[in-house]
Structures are given as C-alpha cells and as structure tokens.
Structure 1
Amino acid sequence: MTAIARKVAAALALPVVLFAVWWLATGSSENFYFPSLRVILSSFGEVWTGDRLVTDVLPSVLRLLCGYLAAVVIAVTAGVVIGSSPRIRAFAEPALEFLRAIPPPVLVPIIMLFAGIGDVMKIVVIVFGCVWPILLNTVEGVRAVDGVLLDTARSYGIGGVARLRHLVLRSASPQIFAGMRQALSLGIILMVISEMFAASNGLGFAIVQFQRSFAIPSMWSGILLLGILGFLLSLVFRLVESRALSWYHGLRRSQRS
C-alpha cells in the first residue's frame, strides 16, 4: 500500500505544480478568451453537476471504454495471428500500412453513411484509431519471442492454448501494454472528435456548444475536465500495468542490481 501511495504522490506532483503556476499566471487576467483559473474553477463547479455528468460525461466514458476494449481484443487477436506466421505477415503488411496511414477523423463522414450518427459511429471511430498501436506492438512482441523458449515448449509437448497463454502472450505483454498506453490517449482524442459530428451529448458536443454560445469559462472547464479524465484513466492504466507486468518489472530490477 505504501508503494502505491508513493506512485500516486509522484504522479500528482507535476499536475499540482502546473495548476499552481496556472493560478498565479492568470490570477489578474481580464481577457475574455483566457479567463483566470479561479473563474474556470467556479464555472466548473456550476456546469459539471450531477445532471451533466450523467448526460455528457458518462456517455463519453462508456463510448471510450467500449471502443478501447474492442480495439484491444481485435488488435491482440490479429497481432498474434500475424506475428506468428511470416507468410501472413508478408501478405497483410501492405494493407496494414495503408490503413494505418489514414487519419481516423477523415473517416468520420464515411462511417456516418454506414453506421448513422449514433453511438455505433463514435465507437467505430475510436476502434479504428486505437487498434493500430496495439496491433503493431503485438506483432513485434510476438515476433520477438525467444526461439529457444518456443523450441523448449515444443519439445515438452506444450502447445495450443497453453503455449499461447503462458509463453507467447506473456513474452509479448510488455510491448502489448506499450501499445495499449498509446492507444488510450488516442482514444480520448477520437472520443472528443467523434462527438463533434452530429452528436446530441458527450464532452465534445458540450465543449462545442459552449464555444458557439460564447460561454468561454464553461468551455475551458470542459477542456479541464477532459485533462482530468485523461489523467485519471492514465493513472488507473499504470496501476493495472504495474500489477499485470509485476514479473517483468521485477526481472528488470534484478538485472540492474
């Protein structure tokens, strides 16, 4: 518990310093477009009440989680298949490089034609953007599995699901989590972008509405809420990652000593 508390304190140190600098730097600001942090925090308490948390924040978080988890499942499954077979990798690589180069926001109008303007469209946009860093890291992680370990497992008759679970996925898990970390930040960005197109709720929709109605402090409070949400999700991810990769971090510490 002490170690977790230290990690949380270390993660909070820089944001607290940045908030203090922001407070001092904008304390006397009278600019309409760049209000002081005090005004933004006052608007934050007024805007993001229980009703708006349910109507805007909760739908955004649910879309993000659905899209992100779907991307993890798709990317890890495809990455294991592609990374395990040189022939499949050579066949799929050109198509993967082509699709990866397409910015997901560009596909929003096209996805709207097929999926409509509801939650399905927003989730598909998040999935399309999040899948690539996880997929590519999974492929490289599976390719990097030690051949000696694979031969040893084969000689002992360990195959199928057991080899996949205990050897392949375990060896590739550090790179898989690296891709998942990158995808999480992309997912938040795509969540906001998708909600700016023909939406009726969500954080992106609310921020655009505040901007159009010149409710500038409320708009800044929405941006601040996005930053807080991203920070909290990153903190939760770090805790999950440290728990899932405890063997890996322990191995690295032993190698340093």
Structure 2
Amino acid sequence: MALWEVVARAHGSVYFPPPGRIARHAHELWFSGPVRHVFLSEAAVADILPSLGRMGAGFGLAAVAGIALGVAVGRSRSAYSLCNPVLQFARAVPPPALVPVFVVVLDFGTPMQIASIAFGAVWPVLINTAEGARNIDPLHLDVAAVFRLNPLERLWSLILPSALPRIFAGLRLSLSLSLILMVFSELLPGTANGIGFTLTDAQTRSDLLTVWAALVLLGALGYLLNAGLLAVEKRLVGRGKATA
C-alpha cells in the first residue's frame, strides 16, 4: 500500500489514484453521514443497503435450502447415488452464466437478482452438507439407536453437529458467490441502485476514483462478512462438538 501511494503520487496517473485519495473519496461518498445514521450517508443508504439486502436474502435462501436438501440427500444412499451426478454438474456451471436465464424468466428487478443469487449460491452448501451428513461416525448412530432417539432428536443432537464443519465450509463458498452474483446482477440494465449500479454508472461517467472506491468497498465487505461467518462457525462448531 505504501509503495502504491508513493508511485501513484509520483506519476499522477488518473487510472491508478493513490490509496489515500481512494479512502478519502469512499469516506466522503458513503461514510460521512450523521452519527444518528451510523455515519452512513444518503449514497450509502441508496447503494450499500439495497445491495446487502439482496445479497442477504439470496444467501439466506441458499443456506436454508442447501442445508435442508443436503441433509435429506446425505442420509439416503439411494437419493445420494441418484442426485450426486446432477449436483456435480450443477456445481460446474459458472453461476453468472445462469443470470440471463433468470432475466428471461423473471425479467429485470429485485426478484430476479435474489433468485439468481440463491440459485447460484445453493450448490456449495447443498453438496458440503450432504457429504457431512453422509459421513457420520457409525458408532454415534449406534448410540442414538440404543437411546431410541426419534428422527428429530437425531437431526438436532447428532446429524447437524457432526456435519457443521462441512456445512460452514459450504457457507463460506456460498457467501463469496453471493457477493459476486450480487454485483453481477446489479450490472445489468434495469437496476437503479446498488454497488454494481454505482460501478456501471461511474464507468460510464469515467469517474475512476468512484470505481476504485467501489472495488475497495466490495473487498472490505467481503472480508467483514467472512470474518463474521468465521466467528459464528467457531462458536457453533465448538458447541456442536460438545453436544456430539
């Protein structure tokens, strides 16, 4: 960062502004609001919050569907044998390539964006959950049978705690995909707000400083969201091991 700052100031290139200037511009653009609004400016409310809302909705749908279907597929040998080739095929399809399909089905707008995020991000969660639910220690299953645990008790006290490490591995991948798909869906026509829209608008106006600020913002959001998910993982996986 220091080297970038020195070289950028020495050359004065409009394409590579100094990091300090990028940081100041990002602060003025998004984080110069009043204290009662948590320092968020009007631009932040108009751009960052809608993007996080779409991403959160898509990621939440992918997480719930992926965990539920993954447990069902992982605990059934016949279902796993039947579904695994389809899951591997779906995982290999680049998620951004599916966005035009959702545009045709749902047209432009928030429903299309949420659906494309959820559909593209569900596969890592589903596949990892299925693998985690499938590879439970047989001794633990025997103990559950001895104690005559019903299916719901087995799910809550045995299957989910044992599969948690694989579930969170899938959730981390899904979170990254959700961020990518959120930006990609907002680059399409018909979007009136969001970080992706800000990128497109700044590029159209040749406002490279805002382009760099948006890229830095996306990197910071990805880091913070991943750090939050890791904190939740450490807490729940430790509790899950204790329960198991």
TM-score by length of 2: 0.90
2:234 — aligned with what? 242
Question: Could you tell me how far 1:45 is from its partner in structure 2?
Answer: 2.5
2:36 — aligned with what? none
1:41 and 2:23 are equivalent in the alignment? yes
Per-residue CA deviations over 1:68-118 (Å, capped at 9, x if unaligned) read 111010000010010001101111122222222221211111101111211
**Equivalent residue for 1:110, pick from 72, 78, 101:** 101
1:221 and 2:213 are equivalent in the alignment? yes
Give the partner amino acid of 1:243: R
**Equivalent residue for 2:194, pick from 187, 194, 202:** 202
Determine the C-alpha separation between the residues in 2 that align with 1:153 and 1:246.
20
Determine the C-alpha separation between the residues in 2 that align with 1:88 and 1:103.
25
Question: Could you tell me how far 1:249 is from its partner in structure 2?
Answer: 7.8
**Equivalent residue for 1:32, pick from 14, 22, 26:** 14
Determine the C-alpha separation between the residues in 2 that align with 1:109 and 1:248.
40
1:152 and 2:143 are equivalent in the alignment? yes
2:37 — aligned with what? none
Percent identity for Structure 1 against Structure 2: 38
Per-residue CA deviations over 1:178-214 (Å, capped at 9, x if unaligned) read 1111111111111101110121111011011101110
Question: Could you tell me how far 1:27 is from its partner in structure 2?
Answer: 3.7
Q: How does 1:65-76 map to 2 (within 5 A)?
A: 65-76=56-67
Q: Which range moved further: 215-224 or 48-57?
A: 48-57
2:161 and 2:240 in contact (8 A); partners too: no
Q: Which range moved further: 112-121 or 52-61?
A: 112-121
Q: Which range moved further: 89-98 or 177-186?
A: 89-98
1:56 — aligned with what? 47
Determine the C-alpha separation between the residues in 1 that align with 2:222 and 2:14.
26
Question: Could you tell me how far 1:24 is from its partner in structure 2?
Answer: 4.1
Per-residue CA deviations over 1:128-161 (Å, capped at 9, x if unaligned) read 2211111111011011101111122112211210
**Equivalent residue for 2:78, pick from 74, 79, 87:** 87
Q: 1:97 to 1:216 in 2, by over 3 A?
A: same
1:64 and 1:123 in contact (8 A); partners too: yes
1:212 and 2:213 are equivalent in the alignment? no
Q: Which range moved further: 92-101 or 207-216?
A: 92-101
Q: Which runs of 5+ in 2 are unaligned?
A: 33-40
1:27 and 1:37 in contact (8 A); partners too: no
- Secondary structure of the residue aligned to 1:26 is helix
1:60 and 1:202 in contact (8 A); partners too: yes
2:29 and 2:44 in contact (8 A); partners too: no
TM-score by length of 1: 0.85
Q: How many residues align?
A: 233
Q: Which range moved further: 234-243 or 93-102?
A: 93-102
1:28 and 1:36 in contact (8 A); partners too: no
**Equivalent residue for 2:174, pick from 160, 164, 183:** 183
2:164 and 2:240 in contact (8 A); partners too: no
1:169 — aligned with what? 160
1:29 and 1:35 in contact (8 A); partners too: no
Q: Which range moved further: 124-133 or 60-69?
A: 124-133
- Secondary structure of the residue aligned to 2:215 is helix
Give the partner amino acid of 2:209: P
- Secondary structure of the residue aligned to 1:89 is helix
Q: Which range moved further: 226-235 or 214-223?
A: 226-235
